[in-house]
């Protein structure tokens, strides 16, 4: 990085991954510009359109035309929030970078606190929810179970109730850009890189507008990515379970042989035999499923496909990475 390039960096990059957020983007930009205008720093807003099917692309293009500090990346299709966030981090150039959701559930006013702690020497300042009052009982319960389980099995300490909303120093972002794994759990990567980290507590408000794009099925798969990406404990449990059931079967078999030899009566047990066979068949399928989760992730990594495909960009240069940027059509400016 040349001195001229480094000096041209904005102080702050805001990374926004947007998927079908037409209802909230106008509110988001108005509020965010008000907050950033009072911080006294130079900034850019890097918006990633994650294959939206509504008017999100049009709104982002218009926002860039009205304010050159708003940069836009259009992905070729919906790659999911984790990869859209990765694209934003790849393209962001600020000395500090803040991922921020467009729904305003992560209040941008907290960025001022982030900057204060960053200037005190912290490399990462992340927001932690004080409570989950706005969530349903089911979501609160499953979240508590997930974070408890993840804390026990993970090989890195991932803060509970902390999302993607955080400030990261440029050197942290450069470290994250080294990770090109396909199945990404960004909260885990944020913790894995280390550096000096601290937290800021806040209460999360309701969405400003629109509907959440996460359902329970997506959250379930998200939890699987988190557990399998940072722990091999499920594989160990599968192995230990097989050993335990094998020992129980051997002991029970020895018991039946001895009982028959001593009493001379072979006890009928068709029903118990069927229960045992069905039970063990179910256990084997669960173990195979656990192994399959890891094998599937290995298969995905082995194909070495790019993490995302960029269709076009506005106001920003592609980074020096293996991201694929499709050439613009003739006469179209990128």
Phi, psi of 165 (to 5 degrees): -70, 110
Residue 195 CB burial class (10 angstroms; 0-12, 13-18, ≥19): middle
Note the Cα 120 to chain centre separation in Å.
Answer: 28
Confidence of residue 3 (pLDDT cuts 50, 70, 90): very low
* Mean pLDDT across 136-146: 64
Element (H, E) at 97: strand 96-99
What's the confidence (pLDDT) of residue 130?
77
The pLDDT of residue 1 is above 50: no
Q: What is the pLDDT of residues 39-52, one digit of tens each?
A: 888 889 999 998 88
């Amino acid at each position: 990085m040349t001195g001229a390039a480094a000096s041209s960096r904005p102080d702050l990059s805001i990374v926004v991954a947007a998927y079908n957020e037409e209802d909230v983007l106008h509110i988001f930009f108005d509020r965010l510009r008000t907050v950033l205008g009072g911080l006294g720093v130079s900034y850019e807003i890097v918006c990633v359109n994650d294959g939206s099917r509504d008017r999100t692309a049009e709104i982002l293009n218009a926002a860039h035309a009205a304010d050159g500090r708003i940069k836009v990346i259009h992905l070729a299709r919906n790659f999911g929030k984790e990869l859209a966030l990765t694209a934003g981090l790849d393209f962001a150039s600020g000395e500090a970078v803040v991922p921020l959701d467009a729904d305003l559930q992560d209040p941008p006013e907290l960025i001022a606190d982030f900057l204060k702690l960053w200037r005190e020497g912290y490399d990462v300042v992340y927001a932690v929810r004080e409570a989950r009052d706005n969530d349903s009982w089911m979501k609160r319960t499953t979240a508590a179970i997930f974070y408890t389980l993840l804390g026990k099995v993970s090989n890195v300490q991932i803060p509970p109730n902390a999302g993607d909303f955080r400030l990261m120093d440029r050197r942290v972002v450069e470290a994250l850009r080294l990770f090109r794994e396909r199945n990404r759990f960004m909260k885990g990567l944020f913790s894995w890189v280390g550096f000096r980290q601290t937290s800021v507590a806040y209460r999360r408000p309701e969405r400003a507008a629109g509907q959440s794009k996460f359902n329970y099925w997506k959250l379930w798969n998200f939890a699987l990515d988190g557990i399998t990406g940072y722990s091999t404990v499920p594989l160990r449990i599968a192995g230990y379970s097989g050993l335990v059931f094998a020992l129980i079967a051997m002991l029970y078999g020895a018991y039946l042989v001895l009982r028959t030899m001593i009493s001379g009566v072979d006890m009928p047990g068709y029903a118990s035999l069927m229960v045992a066979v069905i039970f063990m068949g179910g256990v084997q399928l669960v173990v195979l499923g656990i192994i399959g989760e890891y094998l599937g992730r290995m298969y995905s990594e082995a194909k070495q496909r790019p993490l995302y495909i960029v269709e076009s960009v506005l106001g920003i240069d592609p980074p020096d990475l293996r991201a694929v940027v499709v050439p613009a059509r003739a006469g179209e400016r990128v």
